[in-house]
Amino acid sequence: MRTAAGHASTRWLRTLAAAALALAVPVGGPAAAQSLERAIKAAFLPKFAAFVDWPDDAFDGPTSPIALCVVGDDPFGDLLDRSVAEQPPASRTFAVQRLKVVDPGARCHVMYVAGSRQQPVEDVLRTVRGTPVLTITDAEPQASAKGIVNFVLNEGKVRFEMDAGAAAENGITISSKLLGLAVSVRRRG
């Protein structure tokens, strides 16, 4: 299984917390705030992986990269590529993939689901349900189609909700450290 070392895990956790607080600082108007919000979310995506355990068969080998996929209309552009490039060396690197649609055979480990006209968010989530993938969405708090991680704005800060029950259904385990940073955690039920 892929696990994070305790020391590195603590460093990632601090980085995640700092990134979550960064949006609280007012920045030159709505366009600048939206740009900063995208940058923070792009920084979160690879960091989430340090707090996830996947089944051994989710990877081709012990050093296979973590496939970080953006499905649908990519809101990040090169922000995500730069965020991945800035990650410290680890046993697994990242391979960023941008997909217009996803099928049941897609080999993604971390998946940001933006959705598109060709494949809405609900369809993507339904397609990968039960597979070892950490799904991440940007749905409204009341929305029914949310990933295991769902970004929300809480008091002007980028935060996230977690669905530990959906993670278990997908065969992955989320660290309690990451669950502790979520604004809400849905358990099995």
CATH of the domain at 83: 3.40.50
* Rounded distance between C-alpha atoms, residue 44 and residue 61, angstroms: 25
Does residue 21 have a pLDDT over 70? no
Token pair belonging to 181: 């940073």
Token pair belonging to 89: 């060396």
CB atoms within 10 A of CB 151: 20
Q: What is the mean pLDDT of residues 35-59?
A: 94
Token pair belonging to 137: 């969405």
State the residue range of the domain holding 69. Answer: 6-184
Q: Per the domain annotation, does 134 fall within a domain?
A: yes
Does residue 13 have a pLDDT over 70? no
Q: What is the pLDDT of residue 90?
A: 79
Q: What is the pLDDT of residue 14?
A: 54
Q: Per the domain annotation, does 25 fall within a domain?
A: yes
Segment 86-126, tens digit of pLDDT: 988 778 999 999 999 999 888 999 999 999 999 999 999 99
Segment 120-153, tens digit of pLDDT: 999 999 999 999 999 999 977 778 889 999 999 8
**Overall number of domains in the chain:** 1
Q: What is the pLDDT of residue 84?
A: 94
Q: Per the domain annotation, does 28 fall within a domain?
A: yes
Strand-strand pairing, 149-154 and 173-174? unpaired
Q: Per the domain annotation, does 23 fall within a domain?
A: yes
Looking at every residue in the chain, the average pLDDT score rounds to 85
Q: Per the domain annotation, does 177 fall within a domain?
A: yes
- Decide which of 59 and 188 is more confident: 59
Q: What is the pLDDT of residue 27?
A: 45
pTM here?
A: 0.84
Select from 69, 70, 94 the least CA-distant residue to 84: 94
DSSP secondary structure string for all residues of 81-113: HHHHHTSPP-SS-EEEEEESS--TT---SEEEE
Q: Per the domain annotation, does 189 fall within a domain?
A: no
Q: What is the pLDDT of residue 69?
A: 97
**Tokens 């029950």 appear where?**
165
- Decide which of 27 and 136 is more confident: 136
